[in-house]
Structure 1
Amino acid sequence: MSNSQTIPASASPTASSATTGHLAFAPAVFWQWLAGPVWLLAALVTWKLPDRDDFPDTGQFAFLLFAVGLCLLALTAIGRLRERAPWALVLGLGLGAWEVMQAKFLLLPRPFFGTPQDLLDVFLTDWKRLGDSLLHSLLLLVIGYVSGSVLGIITGVALGRSHHIRYWVRPIMRLIGPLPPVALLPLTFVIFPSTRLAGEVLMALAAGFPVAVLTWSGVSAVDHAYYDVARTMGAGDRFLVLRVALPAATPQIFVGLFMGLGASFAMLVVAEMLGVKSGLGFYMQWAQGWAAYPNMYAALIVMSLMCTTLMTLLFKLRDHCLKWQKNGLKW
């Protein structure tokens, strides 16, 4: 018997990775033990080297770097850092280099490039306005995205199930759907009584078109044998839609939801910058007008965290609804 026959398939790394469908990233051990010291070194440089100007919160920023360095060392000691260690190391190096280049030597042009302590000062002193802008953006986004997604799913199911609806609605979708929603911004500001309502309508349009098209595709792709079997057991149209068409089209629906969420993010920023007088987009426009670039960067960070959190929640919902595809795609 050959050696290849005596080795179990489960013991082969190649066979294991082929079974799981992806390879796990396992960084070297030294990455883990370097991450914490790099942050501690950045804290020491921030504290000891003199600033080239009167920058706020240098001591607080040094303490923050020091605290993160200690946390990273603790996580390394208990084996919880592992694959995130390279990112922790690179972030520590980046913050330390930024501090040295700008706060200690002023190598980057001001006011376009602030210092890390400038950014920290924005979060410490202007957190109320940032939080209020975040709440306004979330409310605007949720109303527009959810309404557009619901209408998109209803439209997609109707297009996939009815020839009459497809005859009348399909030309309208082909005419309006491919248009960038931002191109309709001046028109919607005239038609609707408030700029906020206009922004919600445009976000609904941005989310609804991809959701409708992919829902339609998923419903149309359902095997007709499923419908025939359900009808022989006495199922009505409502059962066919809710228990046959929608579950079978769920993977395509989630693809449309992801695409619609990305389009809604883009439309949110444009609407808040050009018309809606609230939210993170408006805050960024205000900061740029006053040359308060640290405030603008802080708003960008908050917006990025908001977007990635919503996308993560949508992935969690997808994994819950599509448990058989749970490990197929990671966010």
Structure 2
Amino acid sequence: MTAAPTSVAFDGPARRSAPVTRPSWRSLLPWAAGPVWIIAACVTWRWPDADDFPDTTLLAGLFLAGGLVLLLAAALHRLSARAPWAIALGVGLAAWEIAQAKLLWLPRPFFGTPQDLLDVFVTDWRKLGDSLLHSLALLVVGYTIGSLVGIAVGVGLGRSVRFRYWVQPVIRLIGPLPPVALLPLAFVLIPSSRVASEALMSLAAGFPVAILTWSGIAAVDPAYYDVARTMGARGRFLVLRVALPAATPQIFVGLFMGLGASFAMLVVAEMLGVKSGLGFYMQWAQGWAAYPNMYAALLVMSVMCTGLMTLLFRVRDHVLKWQKDGLKW
């Protein structure tokens, strides 16, 4: 008696297991930033200082808070692009803490510790804030006046032959001069050191703005003016609605250049003449060998300058919405 053949069920070709995707090291970077800052906090708190430095516990707490914030940002997928910089900053601060606060490798008082810098912001924030407000007021007045005058002069150079005949030689004579070279003369001719500094900052900002505005106005296609005239446009309309909009990209280039020149003139003016502001604060700190205060003023000045530059970029991006490939800050 033969056994019945066993039936074999065929489900078709054997299924292949799906390949296991392993996370790349780039996807793990956001999760590494937080632990780096937490390790920096542990090093700051547990490793004894080489000297009696202030605010060590507060600094460790700030590092710990930064690490927790970075972990939260990684969990919310908000840290992918900035993760390498967050890691580098945490490693740099930890290295600075170890090299100076724990081992004293660099000579003091020229090189301070993170605790020294933090102590300046904790104890001297009023004077730093007052210096920042004075610098901002001085810069805004000088830069605004210089920019407006520069745009007006640039329009005149680009639109009027007679105006260009008389003004161009003056610009060629005075414009390329560094405004710093005119500082002693300005303090002699203008009794107020503040007004003299604002005038020099206006000159520093006005020259590049005038030249770039002139270049933009001169580059406008004459056909635009012809079309506007056939529709009844007058001189003011041609300037405000044809020439200036077409020259706006060049004008913003001049505004950026003028802002950088105003920054340089601001520091020199405050160090040599104006008795207030961040430049004056830095000179005062250097005179008393308070180098952490000087570094704190440098940090505040850097934040102020990059903040104003960012604001100008935002204004440019809003005005020039049609530019898709413009430089991003």
TM above 0.5, yes or no, is yes
SS in 2 for 1:143: helix
Which residue of structure 2 lines up, in the alignment, with residue 14 of structure 1? none
Which residue of structure 1 lines up, in the alignment, with residue 16 of structure 2? none
Looking at structure 1, the residues matched to 225 and 25 of structure 2 have their Cα atoms a distance apart, in angstroms, of 50
Looking at structure 1, the residues matched to 263 and 272 of structure 2 have their Cα atoms a distance apart, in angstroms, of 15
Gaps of 5+ in 2: 1-23
Looking at structure 2, the residues matched to 83 and 105 of structure 1 have their Cα atoms a distance apart, in angstroms, of 34
* Cα deviation digits, residues 67-107 of structure 1 (max 9, x gap): 00000011011110011000000000000000000000100
- Aligned residue among 25, 33, 36 for 2:34: 36
SS in 2 for 1:82: coil
Looking at structure 2, the residues matched to 280 and 31 of structure 1 have their Cα atoms a distance apart, in angstroms, of 37
Which residue of structure 2 lines up, in the alignment, with residue 126 of structure 1? 124
Looking at structure 1, the residues matched to 60 and 145 of structure 2 have their Cα atoms a distance apart, in angstroms, of 45
1:109 maps to a residue whose letter is P
Shift, 1:27, TM fit: 8.2
Which residue of structure 2 lines up, in the alignment, with residue 147 of structure 1? 145
- Aligned residue among 47, 53, 64 for 2:62: 64
Residues 36 and 135 (structure 1 numbering): CA distance in 2 closer, same or farther, change over 3 Å? same
SS in 1 for 2:105: coil
2:103 maps to a residue whose letter is F
Which residue of structure 1 lines up, in the alignment, with residue 162 of structure 2? 164
Shift, 1:34, TM fit: 1.1
Shift, 1:325, TM fit: 1.3
Looking at structure 2, the residues matched to 292 and 312 of structure 1 have their Cα atoms a distance apart, in angstroms, of 31
Looking at structure 1, the residues matched to 324 and 184 of structure 2 have their Cα atoms a distance apart, in angstroms, of 42
- Aligned residue among 134, 141, 161 for 1:136: 134
- After TM superposition, where is structure 1 displaced by more than 4 Å over at least 4 residues in a row? none
Which residue of structure 2 lines up, in the alignment, with residue 201 of structure 1? 199
Give the aligned CA root-mean-square deviation in angstroms. Answer: 1.0
2:189 maps to a residue whose letter is I
Shift, 1:327, TM fit: 4.3
Looking at structure 2, the residues matched to 72 and 223 of structure 1 have their Cα atoms a distance apart, in angstroms, of 52
Looking at structure 1, the residues matched to 249 and 76 of structure 2 have their Cα atoms a distance apart, in angstroms, of 39
The structure richer in helix per residue is 1
* Cα deviation digits, residues 116-163 of structure 1 (max 9, x gap): 011001001100000000000000000000000000000000000000
* Cα deviation digits, residues 286-310 of structure 1 (max 9, x gap): 0000000110000011000000010
SS in 1 for 2:180: helix
Looking at structure 1, the residues matched to 25 and 141 of structure 2 have their Cα atoms a distance apart, in angstroms, of 42
Which residue of structure 1 lines up, in the alignment, with residue 220 of structure 2? 222
SS in 1 for 2:54: coil
Shift, 1:33, TM fit: 1.4
Which residue of structure 1 lines up, in the alignment, with residue 229 of structure 2? 231
Which residue of structure 1 lines up, in the alignment, with residue 315 of structure 2? 317
* 1:199/1:271 contact within 8 Å kept: yes
Which residue of structure 1 lines up, in the alignment, with residue 182 of structure 2? 184
**TM-score under structure 1 length normalisation:** 0.91
SS in 2 for 1:234: coil
Looking at structure 1, the residues matched to 131 and 125 of structure 2 have their Cα atoms a distance apart, in angstroms, of 10
* 1:43/1:66 contact within 8 Å kept: yes
Shift, 1:264, TM fit: 0.2
* 1:206/1:263 contact within 8 Å kept: yes
* 1:35/1:72 contact within 8 Å kept: yes
Q: Give the aligned length.
A: 306
Which residue of structure 2 lines up, in the alignment, with residue 287 of structure 1? 285
Gaps of 5+ in 1: 1-25
Looking at structure 1, the residues matched to 108 and 45 of structure 2 have their Cα atoms a distance apart, in angstroms, of 22
Question: Identity rate of aligned residues, in percent?
Answer: 75
* 1:27/1:86 contact within 8 Å kept: no
Which residue of structure 2 lines up, in the alignment, with residue 18 of structure 1? none
Please say which structure displays the higher CA radius of gyration: 2
Looking at structure 2, the residues matched to 103 and 222 of structure 1 have their Cα atoms a distance apart, in angstroms, of 60
1:161 maps to a residue whose letter is R
Looking at structure 1, the residues matched to 322 and 272 of structure 2 have their Cα atoms a distance apart, in angstroms, of 43
1:247 equivalent in alignment to 2:225: no
Residues 138 and 27 (structure 1 numbering): CA distance in 2 closer, same or farther, change over 3 Å? farther
Looking at structure 1, the residues matched to 218 and 45 of structure 2 have their Cα atoms a distance apart, in angstroms, of 64
